[in-house]
Amino acid sequence: MNATTEPRNAWRAEYPFESHFLEMQNDVRMHYVDEQPANSTSPNTILCVHGNPTWSFYYRSIVSEFRDQCRVVAVDHVGCGLSDKPQQYDYCLAQHTKNLIQLIETLDLRNITLVVHDWGGAIGLGAAVRCPDRFRNIVILNTAAFPPPYIPKRIAACRIPLIGSWMIRYGNAFARAAISMAIDRLPRLSPAASEGLLAPYDTPKHRIAIDRFVQDIPLSPNHPTWSVLEKLEQDLVNLRQLPIHFIWGMRDWCFRPECMERLQVAFPNATRLELHDVGHYVMEEAPSEVNAELKRFVA
């Protein structure tokens, strides 16, 4: 039975949300969660944008916590989560950003509190600089929005020609390794959390976007995504007028604290919460801290 179409009960209990799909170009469907109170008049929206190799399941605590107060939207990038996983697709930062903008405009999201993590930072912030009037404030979890100043060895190993893609797609080396390597506070994730994070990526074909995200990390200016990230970093100043708050897992070996420091150059008035015993999967290790901080912003 396919885990993407018939989820197992162990993790589904933590993700009891109705599925919605946006029809994209070439009949590709992008999945998203869209929860809000019945007859809601709240003008506020929380928009959660995930990275690699997670999906909207990663933000389940935010959706559960805030869906009775305001509109909460959590997207699955094409190729991720419960979205379609076409084998022939332009899996790159520019396309993911374009897709997110299409979702924002189609749903007419406004007064957005943007929550981003990992690749979701570049994608979400890329959308924000394109339509800043729709955004109210930004919460930034471990991420980057500039050409990479370094490549961790564990990521570089997944870039080895042929071998790296085989490890990711056929060995599930990236997603499966992340459930233990992306945490520090917890000795291990709960079985439901581990199962949920891995559920959509149950076959080599379903891991194509995980592989392509890794391949989209630009190692030199010759890579097409390098210039996209370069321009994004320059454009971040256009978001300075918004309240911006960092919540950072300081034990992250991938997006190390120096990434937060570089982002703070663009956002000199941003506030921060440093979680000194938390790794990369901030929402898995510190959901209560994130939700408490987010509650201040939404209020």
The residues, any chain, with a CB within 8 Å of residue 44's CB and separated by 6 or more, are 69, 70, 71, 111, 113, 136, 298
| Domain assignment of residue 4, yes or no | no
Residue 253 in tokens: 């070996």
- pTM confidence score: 0.95
Contact by Cβ (8 Å): 36, 71: yes
Residue 8 has what pLDDT?
55
Specify the 3-state DSSP secondary structure of 249: strand
| Domain assignment of residue 13, yes or no | yes
Query: Per residue in 61-113, pLDDT tens?
Result: 999 999 999 999 999 999 999 999 999 999 999 999 999 999 999 999 999 99
| Domain assignment of residue 189, yes or no | yes
Parent domain of 128: 9-298
Q: What is the CATH number of the domain that holds 80?
A: 3.40.50.1820
| Domain assignment of residue 2, yes or no | no
As for how many domains the chain has, the answer is 1
User: What's the rounded Cα separation, in Å, for the pair 231 and 119?
Assistant: 16
| Domain assignment of residue 3, yes or no | no
Q: How many CA atoms lie within 13 A of 190 on its CB side?
A: 9
Contact by Cβ (8 Å): 15, 57: yes
| Domain assignment of residue 243, yes or no | yes
Q: How many CB atoms lie within 10 A of CB 68?
A: 13
Query: Per residue in 160-217, pLDDT tens?
Result: 988 999 999 999 999 999 999 999 999 999 999 999 999 999 999 999 999 999 999 9
| Domain assignment of residue 75, yes or no | yes
| Domain assignment of residue 226, yes or no | yes
Query: Per residue in 116-166, pLDDT tens?
Result: 999 999 999 999 999 999 999 999 999 999 999 999 998 999 999 889 999
